[in-house]
Structure 1
């Protein structure tokens, strides 16, 4: 995702009282989707998404950041939120995560375990009886794995 777009949108979302958790662009041309995940300590309701969507749409219309059409989506990161930055992992130490790597680490690309520690851009993930150190920059996809108590 363009750093310019992130720098443009983050202050708007922050000024509205939310955290811009993640920003992604999916697809191309007429099927292009710009997706913003917003968060707050109180959680996110539909009205929050609508408020951010109105402000971001207005800003993007004025800035004309792209000559292509796009569909804007604003939502909560959800219980299985994407984990992208070291700060995201840091916030959820002790929680479970699913991580897919671009290239194999110790012979595997898919990991499922507990976030043990974060050192710089390295995440220590405990899987069964082993600990793997995984670089956030080498992760294709990472999500929090909600645990439901019975």
Structure 2
């Protein structure tokens, strides 16, 4: 299966391309790489453990050290920047097609890049994926959105999500 993901764009995508092989060899998955900030540039790397265990401060430190070493050599970002490494948290972004299957049954907010049925924002219960499409129930009706049309998506923090997370800990 082709790994379908939207974890970064622009210069952040270049950074991800550089660090992904090392991060994956350390048994982590990149959830998102983002570059931003007003007065100072912040490079945010959001990652999770492949084994599904909770991320620790040491996990973040390991990713930070490995990423910094690669970025110091490759130097893709001109000027100074701050490196932040974090876990995705409960109300995590959904960046990979597999995320929509993994979190089926939970509430999510999805925004499309183009109008779909007169709207761009959808909130509802994830139903999973069907091929390259994401399915969710919105206002009692099933909505099917092509993964390629999704601009951003994230889980909604609910009591149900918190309870499910606590059961896995």
Q: 1:20-59 CA distances to partner (integer Å, 9 max, x unpaired)?
A: 122222247x632211111121111122111211111111
2:46 to 37, 43, 48: 37
**Structure 1: 5+ residue stretches without partners:** none
- 1:23 and 2:33 are equivalent in the alignment: yes
Alpha-carbon contact 1:21-1:38 (below 8 Å) kept: yes
1:57-96 to structure 2, matched below 5 A, reads 57-96=68-107
Q: Which runs of 5+ in 2 are unaligned?
A: 1-8, 164-169
Identify which range, 128-137 or 34-43, moves more after superposition: 128-137
Correspondence 1:100 to 2:98:
no
Q: Which residue does the alignment assign to 1:55?
A: 66
Determine if the alignment matches structure 1 residue 14 to structure 2 residue 19: no
Asked if the contact 2:29–2:47 (Cα under 8 Å) also holds between the matched residues in 1, the reply is yes
TM-score, normalising length from structure 1? 0.86
For these two proteins, the number of residue pairs brought into alignment is 149
* Among candidates 5, 15, 24, match of residue 5 of structure 1: 15
Aligned equivalents of 1:123, 1:44: Cα separation in 2: 27
Q: Is the CA contact 1:84–1:136 (under 8 Å) kept in the aligned structure 2? A: no
Deviation (angstroms), 1:15: 2.3
CA–CA distance in 2 between the matches of 1:39 and 1:65?
Answer: 23
Cα distance, 1:97 vs structure 2: 0.7
Distance (whole Å) between structure 1 residues aligned to residue 35 and residue 125 of structure 2: 28
Per the alignment, residue 115 of structure 1 pairs with 126
Equivalence map 1:117-132=2 (5 Å) = 117-132=128-143
Does the 8 A contact of 1:86 with 1:120 survive in 2? Answer: no
Structure 1 runs (4+) greater than 6 angstroms displaced: none
How big is the alpha-carbon RMSD for the aligned residues of Structure 1 and Structure 2? 2.0
3-state SS of paired residue (2:91):
coil
Q: Hey, what's the Cα distance between the residues in 2 that align with 1:98 and 1:47?
A: 31
TM-score between both structures, scaled by the size of structure 2: 0.77
